[in-house]
Amino acid sequence: MMSIRFDLSYANINPSEFENRFEQLALANEELMAKTGIGNDFLGWVDYPINYDKAEYARIKKAAIKIQDTCDALVIIGIGGSYLGSKAVISALTSPFFNEEPRSKRKAPKIYFAGQNLSGKYLEKLLELLKDQDICVNVISKSGTTTEPAIAFRFFKKFMEEKYGKDGARDRIFVTTDKSAGALKFMADEEGYENFVIPDDIGGRYSVYTAVGLLPIAAAGIDIDALMAGGKAGYEEYKNPKVDKNPCYQYALYRNVLYNRGKSIEILVDYDPSLEYIGEWWKQLFGESDGKDGKGLFPSAVHFSTDLHSMGQMIQDGPKNHFETVLVIDEDQSSIKVFHDDANLEGLNYLNAWEIDAINEKAFMGTLLAHVDGGVPNGIIHLKKLDAFNIGKLIYFFEKACGLNGYLMGVNPFDQPGVEAYKKNMFALLHKPGYEALTTELEERL
């Protein structure tokens, strides 16, 4: 039985709507797997789970052990694809209260993130929190000049050199960057930091299986062998040309059919807080990949049952411009049960001996039927178990479906030209050299 399956029973899609796209899908898959399609200079992720750099992989494992042995806390500095993948996996596969647990239970350093925002308060309070702890830093940036992580690393580099001296800091700073060029690579070589490679042919949002994701994930005590095995299993399974046997194909077609029906928003739904950052990573993956040339589905994520008390009304009775993709874990995460209370003031005794995970499942089923009755198509991704293998496979499932979907939509799913627009304006307003003409124009507009 497939460990990830896609259920279309509630999607209100006629089989002919799939069949009419089979030829186009087969062509998209051929171009993707042969790396001949548009954006093929960023298709290194396609076979990376089987063709990864084994020597660097061994170094990642060794560095992760060193980090675990050396520090109380690991600070991961990066933004976008440089942090979302590792945060998604770590959040999914560790306790919701990971940093608060004793080291004897965690068996790994606490994990913090920096450089993913421009909040002075966030950075100041994090530095203050860590002043009496032994820390390591993993700074992740292809160029080393991306504003948010570059600012954060400037502060942490100074913090660590003052705390440990330059020699001590050198042993605690790990760099993930371009293999041969860029400001961060230059700094790593000058300072003698151990550094790992962001492959030239893999974009940030597709980089979870590289050192970008694997070093933080391994340092957090997660089995990266199992994660990579899941990626490899996805690579093999999602080559199956039979659509009825390939959930990745089904998901790509499902998105395309509903998009061409006029749906403009896809809502990824989860029923477990552990999956919240899977949703955040998924939003970047599909948002940066789809949104081109006035095309694309707007990716949104909600977390049920929490968001049923805030967004449920809009989804149920609002304009029908959206559909839901529900990510559910089939295996219970806990056996905790509701117990009998003699007073029964809240009237919960009818739930006596019910596992909370079983109640959550009924919440999912009840919501599914209500939203379908309200005219919202639903597709369901069933994840057999929440473990490193299945999360590794899910990552490949989404990555390949994203690539296929882009080709079906007629866009390059591997570039992000629109991201530069805000950066140019920001640099001009900060009076960065070289932007003087734009500075004048923008300040007049403001």
Joined tokens for residue 299: 């990716």
Nearest one of 224, 215, 222 to 64, comparing CA atoms: 215
Rounded to whole angstroms, how far apart are CA atoms 239 and 274? 29
Active site residue 283: no
- Beta strands (DSSP E) in 198-289 are 265-270
Active site residue 19: no
- Gyration radius of the chain's alpha carbons: 23
Residue 361: CB atoms within 10 Å: 16
Report the greatest alpha carbon distance in the chain. Answer: 75
Rounded to whole angstroms, how far apart are CA atoms 347 and 341? 9
- List Cβ<8 Å contacts ≥24 apart for 258-264: 258/11, 258/13, 258/323, 258/377, 259/297, 259/409, 262/321, 263/297, 263/321, 263/322, 263/323, 263/377, 264/297, 264/298, 264/321, 264/322
Rounded to whole angstroms, how far apart are CA atoms 231 and 213? 13
List helix spans (H) across 296-355.
312-317
Sign of CA dihedral 163, 164, 167, 170: negative
List helix spans (H) across 76-223.
84-93, 103-106, 120-130, 147-170, 183-191, 211-219
Helix (H) or strand (E) holding 26: helix 22-34
Catalytic residue among 423, 424, 436, 441: 423
Catalytic residue among 288, 292, 324, 393: 288
Q: So which residues are the catalytic ones?
A: 288, 423
